[in-house]
Amino acid sequence: MKVAAAGVDLHVEVTGPAAAPILVLLHAFPLTGAMWSSQVEALAANWRIVVPDFRGFGQSGVGDGQYTIDFFVDDLFAVLDATTRRAGEPVVACGLSMGGYVLLRAVEREPARFRGLILSDTRSGADENEAKLKRVGAIRALKEKGAAAYGQGFAEGALGKTTQQSRPDVVKRIQTMVQKNQVAGMVGGQLAMAARTDTGAALSKISTPTLVVVGAEDTLTPPEASREMAGRIPGARLEVIPGAGHLPALEATEVFNRVLKDFLEPALLAL
């Protein structure tokens, strides 16, 4: 389906029983909602799964390419308004990397929209200057070398050593997904992440069940950062996925899916 949001049409995939509880999956940069295909297959029997492409990514419109995390949050709220069955119906949401940045800011703005959170390979802190300068370099690389070259470098930096050595199919899939995005959209994503605000002050106020997940080999958001974040969220669970880097949903799908299923048990979330 398409959802109109601030001048662009957002592509949204909805799968699962119409009456089932809603689970929203928010993709990583610079991927698309297609990254969640394994999770959709594993969970769609019991969940109404909503998977949007952020503006500028996948099959969503690009617009002017001038994005902020708050613009992505506005888009998320538009998607929720279009896919929930009643106004203000709370959902469970999972965000990985950039998807986690969006989810944390969304919870900070409107916590009542959420009844459960899964934060994977993400952090609440804003970029320090060094990280911002790295994003400047990434923008330059995107503009000068294009999506294909950027996708190759991204896969090398994001995936764990185990995946790079033993899962060429995952490496290829990620490179292909990146190549399908428009450069303007990926540049906009980098601008949004560079300018994002620190959401750390809101962590102690989170009252919904929360799962924090991280790949044991993640060098972009290391397990130590996830452990620190989980410690600031009341009652949060931390799961470290062996043999996975920054994208455990793709690198260790069976383990990642099992962790999600355990968390999403109806008794845990009182659905």
Average confidence (pLDDT) over 46-72: 97
Helices (H), 117-252: 129-158, 161-166, 168-179, 183-194, 223-231, 248-251
Fold for the domain defined by 2-269: Rossmann fold (3.40.50)
Is pLDDT of 123 > 50? yes
Please provide residue 139's backbone torsions phi and psi, each rounded to the nearest 5 degrees. -65, -45
Q: Return mean pLDDT, the chain.
A: 96
Distance between CA 117 and CA 114 in Å, rounded?
A: 7
Domain extent listing, the chain: 2-269
pLDDT at 271: 57
The predicted-structure confidence for 196-215, as pLDDT tens digits, reads as follows 999 999 999 999 999 999 99
pTM of the model: 0.97
pLDDT band at 267 (very low <50, low <70, confident <90, very high): very low
Cβ atoms of residues 233 and 210 within 8 Å: yes
Share of the chain above pLDDT 70, in %: 98
Phi-psi region of 244 (alpha: psi -120 to 50; beta: other; left: phi over 0): beta
The predicted-structure confidence for 215-232, as pLDDT tens digits, reads as follows 999 999 999 999 999 999
- Chain-centre distance for alpha carbon 57: 12
pLDDT at 269: 54
